[in-house]
Every structure is written in C-alpha cells, then in structure tokens.
Structure 1
Amino acid sequence: MFDLVLRRATLPDGRVGVDIGIRDGRIAAVEPTLAGEAGAEIDATGRLVTPPFVDAHFHMDSTLSYGIPRVNRSGTLLEGIALWGELKPQLVQDAIIERALAYCDWAVARGLLAIRSHVDICDPRLLAVESLLEVKKRVAPYLDLQLVAFPQDGVLRSPGAEDLLKLALDMGVDVVGGIPHFERTMADGAASVRLLCEIAAERGLLVDMHCDETDDPLSRHVETLAYETQRLGMQGRVTGSHLTSMHSMDNYYVSKLIPLMAEAELGVVSNPLINIVIQGRHDTYPKRRGMTRVPELMAAGLTVALGHDCVMDPWYPLGSGDMLEVAHMGLHVAQMTGYDGMVACFKAVTEAPAKLLHLDGYGLEVGCNADLVVLQAADPVEAIRNRAARLFVLRRGQVISRCAPVEAELSLPGRPERVGFTMPVARS
C-alpha cells in the first residue's frame, strides 16, 4: 500500500515509463508498472520528474527590497554594497521576515525547496540574523533554509565583525562565510580566509566564501582557500562562490590553480545572472562577462553549482526564483550548448547544489525524501529551454504547489488549436 504513486514518469537519467511509490514521506519504490494499491495517484504522462531545485547561493535578507531607499544607478557591485549600507539602518525585523517569506512562496511555486542564504552579520543589532533564523523555523515544513554568516563589510575591515560572526554562529547560523577581496589589502584578504576557515574547523562547520568577485586577475584568494582547506583537513566542506576573477586570469596560472582546487575538493558556485551584469563594468569593448570557468571546473571533477544570488535587491532588479532561468543563462554564457553540457547545467541546479549543502535524503533512490517536481517537459534540456511549468511540487509526498500546463490557443487555418512549445513529431 502506497500513500501516493506517480505514474509514467521520465527521470533525469533518461529512464521512461517509471512509477514512483511514496510511503510515509519517502520514496518506497522506483520501477516500471509498479504494482500495489495507492491512496492517490498522479499520472505524469511521460513528463520529467526530478528532485527539487536547490539554490546554493542567495541573499534572502535583501531580497525584494528593490528601490529602497533608492535604485542602483550604476549597476555595479560597489554601489550595491554602498546602497545596502544605506538600507541597513532602516531595516526592521517584520519587513525582512515578510519579504523573505514572500520569496519562499515564489520558491515553492518554482519547485525550489532548498536554499543556502548568506546573511549579513556586520550590523551590531544582528537584525537580519534574527529575522532569517525566524524565517528558517517557519518555512522548515516545506523548505530547507541553510544560513551563512556573511561579513558583508569584511571580517577584518569592519570593526567587531569577527565577534558578531561568532555570535551569529552561536545563535544557530549554519555556515561560515567571508569576502576576502573586500578587505583593505590582499594580505588582509588572505588573513581573513585563514581566520574564517579556522573558526569553521574549530566548530565543525562548513565554509562558503564569496571569493574573488572581481575582474582583477590578480585577485587569487581562491588559491588561499584551497590551501587552508588542505591544511585544516576540510576537503569536501568548503565552497568558493563567484570566483569571477578566474574569467580574467591567464591560462598558465589557471592550469596550476584548478588542480589545486580539485585536490582540496572545493565546491564552486557560479551565479550567471548576477556575474554577467556586475562584472566588466570598467570595460568598453571587448567587454568581459565575468562568469567563472564553469566547463573547465566541471571537467576537472569539481562539484559546480549555479546560484541565483539576488532577486530584486540593491544588486539586481530582476529575478523570480526560477532556477531553470539560472541554468538557461549559465549554459549560454559558458557556451555549454552541447547535449552533455546542457544536462550538466540542469544538474548544477539540482544534484550539485544538494551535494554542496550536504542535504540528507535528496534524490530519486528508494529511501530518499519524497520531495519531487513534475515538470512540463520531456527531459532536462526541454525543461531548461522552456523554463518548464512546475505542474506538481511535492514535499515529503504531499502536493504543496500545482499549476496547469502552459499552452496557447491558436486561431490559424489548418493548424492545431493549441500549441505547447514542444518539438513536432518528425515524419519521413
């Protein structure tokens, strides 16, 4: 007896006609033509069923704050940081919570059920920390929210930031963050990496550091991050986010750097939507787009995820919580339009970020949590191409969001009445 059976699913690995049996919130069976009674059934009709989307890099304390107190006129990273500094004194807890919960509603509707959010700890009130800890508790029944203690103004540059970071961790923040390229000197940046990794190692925590988010090819803090990971025995527990300076580095240095990163088992998060609009701002033409070397890092065996980073905040005026939009932009900028590359970009918003977040029970194997998304697509490539509708979103075997298939009605002589943006059947 199953609580629910998903019939005739197509899985991301290419298997078709698969039934998924769910019992007590977990996947109990995955096989063709599953026998046994079910309390309820959903017919996937050959559509793609996948574990939920995962965003490995986001800023929920600032989300949906666009235009408060003003907009970022230059579109640069530094004006965004300055604008956030203007906004921080005006923040109130209820507003942060309300905006974050609204974004989590968007996320659920998009099949995004796990988010790692950086939270600024450089406000002595730790207002954002308190707010997002409350949000984490409220959304726990339907969304996994992992928080990173992020010293936005620099852990060494901002007075008292080290103590505030430790206090945030004591309050229940999950991961140690940093921003070495924003420290006053290269030496201070390297020192901040060492300090923050030691704090994480002492506490047994993961690390996720904004690293080298700059066009400067001499910003090489990821090398220090790889070294400290090795020195402290933290392989597989450390992530470098952004790494946009790698876009501008010479190839000889990168030929040394990537093997060091692989040796340290660093995770990588690239944020294509934000990286390509914030980087290259000092260029005329040719204009650098700034996204890190995603295909080369994947080819070296590193776990590479694509993150959303921002939605309607001081750094980015757009976004809607759609990780398929992130994958869509990522594969274009990285020129990963071969079939294998497109599938890898789908994994970069599902399996890869789940690995970086160390999510328990994620996947489509028997025993995994029954957290599933039914997409209006036949395979991962079509899902990215159409930014496919999320027909059903399940959390622990319960439907928590649904929508109707997206179709257009046509009034054209001799043509079909409806179109769903799928490939026509070829006829010889």
Structure 2
Amino acid sequence: MEIVNARLRQSTALYTLEIDNGYFTAISKQGTRVSATADQIDADGKLACAPFVEPHIHLDAALTAGEPNWNQSGTLFEGIERWGERKPLLNETDIRRRALQTIELLVQNGVQYIRTHADVSDPSLVGLRTLCALRDELAGKIEIQVVAFPQEGLLSFPGGLGLMEEALQIGADVVGGIPHFEYTRELGEASMKKVIGLAQEYDRLVDVHCDETDDPNSRFLEVLAAEALFNNMGAKVTASHTTAMGSYDNAYCSKLFRLLKKSGINFVSCPTESIHLQGRFDSYPKRRGLTRVKELNAAGINVCFGEDSIFDPWYSLGNGKLLRSLDFGLHICQMMGYADFSQALDFISDNSARTLNVDHRYGIAVGKPGSFILLDGEDDYSVIRRQGEVLLSVRNGDVIMQREPARVVTPEWITGADCP
C-alpha cells in the first residue's frame, strides 16, 4: 500500500507513506504534490494521524439509557442505581449486540484501540465474559482491553474480591477499582493496596475510577500513586476521572503533583460525562467537574481524554466521536491558545496509547504497524476547528473504514474567497 500527498502532524510538507506486510516501510517527504496512480491512495493534502484510542468506555452498559428507568437527577449515584435495575436483564446476546453496535460507531470515527470497563459486581460475570470473548474474536481487526471493574466496590460488595480474582482468571486485562464508593475511607485505602497487589500477582495493568466526586476530602489518588511508586508500576497504572482534584486546594495539589510526577501514573479525563455528572450538589458558583487536565499536562504527566459512556444510565448522549470529547475538554479546561490546539490531538491518540501501554507499537514511523487514520484537515488546529471527519482508517495495511468527504453546494449569491 502506498499513500501519497499526505500531511503529517507538526509539519507542513507532503509525504508518501509505504506499507508492506502490515508495517510502515518508508516515509518520505515529497517535493511537490504528485498525481496518484491507480494503485495508490491520494491523501489530497489531508492529515495522516496515528489511530484514535478510546481509553475509557463501558461497552457492557452502552445503549441502555432509559432501560428500565431514566436517570432523572443526572447524578453519578443515581446512574449506579439505574444500572443496578438494568443488570438483571443482562445476557450474552444483549451485551454482544450493544457492544458491537458501539464498536462500529467507534471504528467509523477512527478508533482502533479500546479500553472497556466491565462490571464485575455481578456474580454471573456475564458482561466480563462476553467482552473478553469479543476481544478475542475481533483481535487483528481492533484491539480491546477489558477492565474488571467492581462498580459497587471491591471490598464493600459481598464477595467482591472473589469476583475480581475470578475475572482475572477468566482473562481480564486490567484490574479496576472504585475507592470513593467503598463504605469507609479505610476500605477505600485498603482497596487500592489490594488492586496493586492483584495486578502484580496476575501481571495485569491497573485502571481505577478514582475520586469521581466533588468531595475535596476524597483523596484516594495519593494512595494509588504512592502504591504505584513503591511497587515501580507507574507506567502500568491509570487513574480515571479524579474529578475531586478540581475541588482540592492549591497547597495540597502542590504536594500531590510532586508524588504524581514521581509515580509516573497515567490519567484519563472524560470531559462530556464529568461536566454532566459533577457539580450536581452546587448552586452557584458551580464547579466544572473535571480534573486538572491543563496543569497535569503542563507538569509533564500523561493525561488523555475518553468518552466514558454512550447512551447509558450515566450519560444519555454520545456518538463515538472522540473529536467531540476533545473539543469539550479544550473548552472546559480553558486550553484554547494556539499552542494548545497545535498539540491537542495527543489527548486522543499518543497520550491514550501510552495509557494503554501500546505506545511501543503505535505511531506513524518506519518499523511500526502500518495503522493510521486520515482526517479532513491539514493539521491539529484545522481538524479541531472544523471537527473534521475521519475519511480513512487503515489497520496493519488493511482499510477498515473509508468515507467520502461531504459535498457542499454553495448558493450562487455567496461570493468572495472560499471559507477556510
């Protein structure tokens, strides 16, 4: 496969990309635009980017909003209650159908890597079993990591620890946790130590729903980061949400950031969901409900954006478009300078790949797997401003999705230069 007239991030030049046997074999700068032959793909000056990565979604709950009841308050905890009502209706056919529909949405929008959480506060573990089976079935087409997520607590839920171990034995890739939902602070702290211990025992990654609350006293992140540091596991550990950080005072955060940098852990923020769920107990002023993305990024700490939910008890919108989540995140976190825009695609590509621990085999470089997407824009800024569509998705040299650019008909009464 040969792609001509492609732009690469952080460059204004045009490039030719060559893929053979599923790997990039050559990336060469073109002097001028060339005419594509019949066996070449003409990128037409569009941006070739490493594939999008969805680092945080719940495929087992996707497309269940309103079944059997809607989340009327819009709170995280009512969402958990509504999901508790839906869980008895789960079966393999139901989960498989909805998960595949959601994966299709993601693939249509340039995603080639997915980390999904599966609720293991369910004695049948049907969600986890089904998603692990789908992961294996779709291997080679799309890469999926399955997190064993104890939605109702690892230590507070009856038999929760045993279910977690069973989930890991079944084949979950990642150990999850939810310390702020445990009954007591002591149980929350103990759960973090247990999560790290299990990850070491089973040689798995870690991804914790950590401090997903506005409560400034919810400080389990420091426990998770310290355990990751002491056990030299930082690169394998992810703290998702950490929305309480938006309520921490600056003096405490100054101390916390020192630990976070030393630990080397990763962060996932879910902008659309967090701004919807958090701040629900505020009148005014009302908190934004996100972690300190801008500050984490400036400190050199790895942070990325995910969708979290698509039409489920916690979030009744969502469409598989990570560019939408990125747009929200840049606005909410006040990352609206040109320097922010020029690197922004990192939040849904390179940073997410690092979070999933796949960065060693990710990216547009000779010797790496021949996987990329083509975006309707010339650089990060134009793609974000226009919310440019994903025009092409290539995985290991095979086209898995292709879309024709929209044809725009301009009224005759409009004159002047073309719109940028």
Partner of 2:387: 387
Deviation at 1:38, TM superposition (A): 8.5
Partner of 2:13: 16
Paired with 1:208 and 1:101, the residues of 2 have a C-alpha distance of 23
Identity %, equivalent residues: 40
Deviation at 1:394, TM superposition (A): 0.7
Note the 1:23-422 alignment, pairs <5 A: 23-33=20-30, 40-359=39-358, 360-415=360-415
Deviation at 1:230, TM superposition (A): 1.5
Deviation at 1:191, TM superposition (A): 0.8
Paired letter, 1:21:
E
Deviation at 1:15, TM superposition (A): 4.5
Q: Which moved more, 1:399-408 or 1:329-338?
A: 399-408
The answer (yes or no) to whether the contact 2:344–2:380 under 8 Å persists in 1 is no
The answer (yes or no) to whether the contact 1:330–1:345 under 8 Å persists in 2 is no
Deviation at 1:357, TM superposition (A): 0.6
Q: What is the DSSP-based 3-state SS (H/G/I as helix, E as strand, rest coil) of the residue aligned with 1:408? A: coil
Q: Alpha carbon RMSD of aligned pairs, Å?
A: 1.7
Paired with 2:169 and 2:280, the residues of 1 have a C-alpha distance of 38
Paired with 1:198 and 1:239, the residues of 2 have a C-alpha distance of 15
Q: What is the DSSP-based 3-state SS (H/G/I as helix, E as strand, rest coil) of the residue aligned with 1:193? A: helix
Deviation at 1:402, TM superposition (A): 1.0
Paired with 1:413 and 1:384, the residues of 2 have a C-alpha distance of 29
Q: Which moved more, 1:194-203 or 1:78-87?
A: 194-203
The answer (yes or no) to whether the contact 1:307–1:326 under 8 Å persists in 2 is yes
Deviation at 1:235, TM superposition (A): 2.3
The answer (yes or no) to whether the contact 1:211–1:243 under 8 Å persists in 2 is yes
Deviation at 1:90, TM superposition (A): 1.0
The answer (yes or no) to whether the contact 1:5–1:38 under 8 Å persists in 2 is no
Paired with 2:181 and 2:83, the residues of 1 have a C-alpha distance of 15
Paired with 2:407 and 2:213, the residues of 1 have a C-alpha distance of 42
The answer (yes or no) to whether the contact 2:235–2:357 under 8 Å persists in 1 is no
Q: What is the DSSP-based 3-state SS (H/G/I as helix, E as strand, rest coil) of the residue aligned with 1:141? A: coil
- Superposed CA deviations along residues 363-402 of structure 1, whole A, max 9, x for unmatched, are 0110111111111111111112222111111111111111
Deviation at 1:40, TM superposition (A): 2.5
Q: What is the DSSP-based 3-state SS (H/G/I as helix, E as strand, rest coil) of the residue aligned with 2:361? A: coil
Deviation at 1:407, TM superposition (A): 3.7
Paired with 2:395 and 2:320, the residues of 1 have a C-alpha distance of 18
Paired with 1:56 and 1:340, the residues of 2 have a C-alpha distance of 24
| Residue 204 to residue 39, structure 1, CA distance change in 2 (3 Å) | farther
Paired letter, 2:409:
E
Under a length normalisation based on structure 1, what TM-score does the superposition of the two structures give? 0.94
Deviation at 1:16, TM superposition (A): 1.9
Paired letter, 1:390:
V
Deviation at 1:265, TM superposition (A): 0.3
Q: What is the DSSP-based 3-state SS (H/G/I as helix, E as strand, rest coil) of the residue aligned with 1:84? A: helix
Paired with 1:69 and 1:14, the residues of 2 have a C-alpha distance of 51
Where do 5+ consecutive residues of structure 1 fail to align?
A: 424-428
Deviation at 1:228, TM superposition (A): 0.6
Partner of 1:426: none
Deviation at 1:259, TM superposition (A): 1.2
Paired with 1:131 and 1:384, the residues of 2 have a C-alpha distance of 35
Q: What is the DSSP-based 3-state SS (H/G/I as helix, E as strand, rest coil) of the residue aligned with 2:5? A: strand
The answer (yes or no) to whether the contact 1:244–1:291 under 8 Å persists in 2 is yes
| Residue 344 to residue 214, structure 1, CA distance change in 2 (3 Å) | farther
The answer (yes or no) to whether the contact 2:56–2:308 under 8 Å persists in 1 is yes
Paired letter, 2:408:
A
The answer (yes or no) to whether the contact 2:168–2:202 under 8 Å persists in 1 is no
Verify: 1:7 aligned to 2:4, yes or no: yes
Paired with 2:343 and 2:244, the residues of 1 have a C-alpha distance of 23
Paired letter, 1:176:
V
Where do 5+ consecutive residues of structure 2 fail to align?
A: none
Paired with 1:326 and 1:412, the residues of 2 have a C-alpha distance of 36
Q: Which moved more, 1:392-401 or 1:273-282?
A: 392-401
Paired with 2:140 and 2:230, the residues of 1 have a C-alpha distance of 38
| Runs of 4 or more consecutive aligned structure 1 residues displaced over 4 Å after TM superposition | none
Under a length normalisation based on structure 2, what TM-score does the superposition of the two structures give? 0.96
Paired letter, 1:138:
E
Q: What is the DSSP-based 3-state SS (H/G/I as helix, E as strand, rest coil) of the residue aligned with 1:123? A: coil
Paired with 2:357 and 2:342, the residues of 1 have a C-alpha distance of 21
Paired letter, 1:392:
L
- Superposed CA deviations along residues 95-151 of structure 1, whole A, max 9, x for unmatched, are 100110111111111011101111111100001011101211232232111011100
Paired letter, 1:135:
L
Paired with 2:270 and 2:204, the residues of 1 have a C-alpha distance of 23
Paired with 1:101 and 1:229, the residues of 2 have a C-alpha distance of 34
Paired with 2:343 and 2:305, the residues of 1 have a C-alpha distance of 10
Paired letter, 2:73:
S
Paired with 1:287 and 1:121, the residues of 2 have a C-alpha distance of 33
Paired with 2:206 and 2:186, the residues of 1 have a C-alpha distance of 20
The answer (yes or no) to whether the contact 1:389–1:406 under 8 Å persists in 2 is no
Paired with 2:409 and 2:164, the residues of 1 have a C-alpha distance of 55
The answer (yes or no) to whether the contact 1:97–1:134 under 8 Å persists in 2 is no
Deviation at 1:234, TM superposition (A): 1.1
The answer (yes or no) to whether the contact 1:247–1:293 under 8 Å persists in 2 is yes
Paired with 1:235 and 1:113, the residues of 2 have a C-alpha distance of 24
Paired with 1:308 and 1:162, the residues of 2 have a C-alpha distance of 28
Q: What is the DSSP-based 3-state SS (H/G/I as helix, E as strand, rest coil) of the residue aligned with 2:63? A: coil
- Superposed CA deviations along residues 240-288 of structure 1, whole A, max 9, x for unmatched, are 0001000011000000001101100010111101010000000111111
